[in-house]
Chains A and B, each alone.
Chain A
Amino acid sequence: MERVFGRAAALQDRVNHYCPGCTHGVIHRLVAEAIDDLQVREKTIAIAPVGCAVLAYNYFNCDSQQAAHGRAPAVATGVKRVLPDRIVFTYQGDGDLASIGMAEIVHAANRGENITVIFINNAIYGMTGGQMAPTTLPGQKTTTSPFGRDVKTMGNPIRVTEMLNTLQGPAFLARVSVHDPKHVAKAKEAIRKSFETQVNGQGFSMVEVLSTCPTNWGLAPTEALKWLETNMIPQYPLGIFRTPEEVAK
């Protein structure tokens, strides 16, 4: 019988540690499929963040480096500049990328580093136990905003992709979601395109993926998907913000 579905070669045959209902697993698979599709696994170097995806190198079947909190874009820059023909991607959460690592992501994007960034936005700190992130929604309760995020004292959620879209450096910027199969398919397309941008040497690419955190949101997995759709998408509109073709114009 013809085999029509299997594990991506860029994923290791290993059970992951993510909480039930967390969408990291889906996103890992989409990244792995993009690497497989482009046949670049053997020359890919993954940069793992600090946070829930710190063990990403246990799941992606490629060479990997683990970076300090927020510094993945700087580490990726170091790798890519000395190995320009390799494919280098970072996989970072919102605390990692939008808070402590804000300088690193802005400047890597601004330099137009030919790397790919997979940015997981679940509006909360996951690994450390549900504290407020820069992406936490107004009014959202977290362990460090127990009365809900008050934008007057805690600031507004940061729309990272829109912010990077003001720079001239990036070649591909998109925000996608994985809350239902239709959107997973779109996310797959965007992630593939982001790697393709790098393979073609067109410059910096980032895909922001809206993701769930049922554990720290205190919701059942299905409720979490619904919460993402209802609450996060209005704050973080989906879409392709920039493509290499537009940049070339």
Chain B
Amino acid sequence: MAERVMMKGNEAIAEGAIRAGCRCFFGYPITPQNEVPEYMSRRMPEVGGVFIQAESEVSAINMVYGAAGAGVRAMTSSSSPGVSLKMEGISYIAGAELPCVIVNVARGGPGLGGLTPSQADYFQATKGGGHGDYRLIVFAPASVQEIIDLMFEAFVTADKYRNPAMVLADGLLGQMMEPVVMKELADLKMPPKPWATTGMVERAQNVVNSLGLVGEDLEKINQRLQQKYREIEANEIRFEDDGTADADLVVVAYGTSARIAKSAIAKAKAEGKKVGLLRLITLWPFPKQKIAELAKAGKEFLVIEMSAGQMIEDVQLASGGQTPVHFYGRLNGAIPTVTEAYQAIMKYMTGKGVE
């Protein structure tokens, strides 16, 4: 039976993970995601899971490595400076091809930054962050309900590809309360994990590893990884298309700024403006093809981000210079208002002479 409850974003991260079959959580306190470890410390014992408050973010992600390597669904959560510390471990996890989930309830940076929401970790989430050629599958929820849904998707997709997945939220999503329909603990179709280090009873040795000392061997490992990434790109791109076909201007946004953009677009539409929304649900894989098609059809783009402009580079790349790509962003710590987003939309509609 589905229950409808009022829930905070951070609690939804935790409960969503548990209902997705996560049975161990390793974390370290950092604002604005502290409700995640706090919630896990209460709930994990109830479901027979493991909770450890690690001595650091570095330890937490390496505990995830160990547990994921042993074949269970494991996760950690943190916020921007803490996620930077986890990057070493994330690179190893990607190299060892272990499935797990990393949550970033992002805040402003660089450095210690502040506690207010930000989307300035886009590059770190989608371009690597740690060393080496690797990719995370990055999900970007825009509501508390979607947090619950995407926590499930993140674990399933991570298992499917033996790849770490990240859920990239921000402090606003983490702290906001919304009604959600809580799913029953689904029939968890956990794929078999014959590679896991569970003790070598009646089988050959399993080794969880990311070492490739021979150059050509390491290249082969990387070629296989790249092949996997192409497969993910072919199968896992997710976005919400809200009226882009009829639009002259397509707003591209994700997470909190997409919510704001949605209200601004509704206002512009009410005035007869042809503006649509392409809301990204996966940031990587990125909907290159979709953007290329829209550009080919002559649509201009407006990227709205809570950063100095990071995702705009991917939109520009995908649109291939066929049509203008505009940008409206508020820097770390500031959240654009609906009015500001509306004004940005009107500015570029005006510029296009469609007033």
- Interface residues, chain A, CB within 8 Å of chain B? 41-45, 47-48, 54-55, 57, 61-68, 71, 74-83, 86, 103-104, 106-107, 111
Closest approach, in angstroms, between the C-beta of B74 and any C-beta of chain A? 7
Does the CB pair B208–A66 fall under 8 Å?
yes
Does B295 sit within 8 A of A, measured CB to CB?
A: no
Known: A61-B205, A68-B88, A74-B54. A103 touches B59 (CB 8 A): yes
CB proximity of B280 to chain A, nearest CB, Å: 31
Closest residue of chain B to A104, judged by CB?
B59
**B62, B198, B206: which has the most chain A beta carbons within 10 Å?**
B62
B55 interface residue (CB < 8 Å to A): yes
A66 touches B211 (CB 8 A): yes
- Contacting residue for A71 out of B89, B199, B211, CB 8 A: B89
Quick one: which of B55, B65, B210 contacts A75, CB cutoff 8 A?
B65
Q: How far is the CB of A148 from chain B (nearest CB, A)?
A: 32
Q: From B211, which residue of chain A is reached at the shortest CB distance?
A: A66
Complex Cα gap A133–B86 (Å): 25
* Docked-complex contact B64 and A78, CB < 8 angstroms: yes
Given A78-B62, A81-B50, A103-B59, A64 and B197 contact (CB-CB distance below 8 Å): yes
Instruction: Name the interface size band of chain B.
Output: 35 or more
State the 3 A-B residue pairs at the shortest beta-carbon distance, nearest first. Answer: A78-B66, A74-B62, A78-B63
CB-CB contacts of B43-59 with A at 8 A, as 1s and 0s?
00000001010111011
* Cβ distance A15 to chain B, nearest Cβ, rounded Å: 16
Residue of B55, B67, B199 near A104 (CB, 8 A) is B55
Q: A71-B89, A107-B59 are in contact. Are A66 and B197 (CB under 8 A)?
A: no
Chain A binding surface, main DSSP class: helix
Question: Considering the chains assembled together, what is the distance between the CA atoms of A104 and B89 in angstroms?
Answer: 13
Question: Residues of B at under 8 Å CB distance from A?
Answer: 23-24, 26, 50, 52, 54-56, 58-60, 62-72, 74, 88-89, 92, 96, 197-201, 205-211
Note all chain B residues with C-beta closer than 8 A to A111. Answer: 52
Q: Which residues of B contact A45 (CB under 8 A)?
A: 70, 197-199
Q: Nearest Cβ distance between residue A32 and chain B, in whole angstroms?
A: 14
State the CA gap A194–B261 with chains docked (Å): 61
- From A63, A68, A103, contact of B56 by CB (8 A): A103
Chain A residues with CB under 8 A of B64: 78
Give Cα distance in the complex from A1 to B64, angstroms.
50
| Minimum distance in angstroms from A189 CB to a CB of chain B | 25
> Does A65 contact B197, Cβ atoms closer than 8 Å?
yes
Q: Would you list 16 pairs from A and B whose C-beta atoms are within 8 A, ordered by A residue?
A: A42-B199, A45-B197, A47-B66, A57-B207, A63-B207, A64-B197, A65-B69, A65-B208, A66-B211, A75-B66, A77-B52, A79-B67, A79-B69, A81-B50, A107-B55, A111-B52
Instruction: Flag if A43 contacts B201 (CB, 8 Å).
Output: yes
A79 and B211 within 8 A (CB)? no
Q: Which residues of A contact B96 (CB under 8 A)?
A: 65-66
User: A64 to chain B: which residues have CB within 8 Å?
Assistant: 197, 205-209
The listed residue (A66, A77, A86, A107) touching B209 by CB distance below 8 A is A66
Q: Which residues of A contact B24 (CB under 8 A)?
A: 78, 81-82
Minimum CB–CB distance for A38 against chain B, Å: 14
CA distance A58 to B214 in the complex (A): 15
The complex places the Cα of A62 from the Cα of B56 at a distance, in Å, of 29
Asked whether A71 lies within 8 Å of B58 as measured between CB atoms, the reply is yes
Knowing A65-B197, A86-B199, say if A81 contacts B67 (CB, 8 Å). yes
Residues of B within 8 A of A71 (CB): 58-59, 62, 65, 89
CB B195 to nearest CB in A, in angstroms, measures 10
Which residues on the B side are within 8 Å of A83 (C-beta)?
70, 198-199
Interchain CA distance A63-B209 in the complex, whole Å: 11
Given the complex of chains A and B, what is the CA–CA distance between A104 and B206 in angstroms?
24
- B62 touches which one: A82, A104, A106 (CB < 8 A)? A104
Given known A66-B211, A68-B92, A82-B23, contact A75–B62 (CB-CB < 8 A):
yes
Q: How far is the CA of A74 from the CA of B70 in the complex (A)?
A: 13
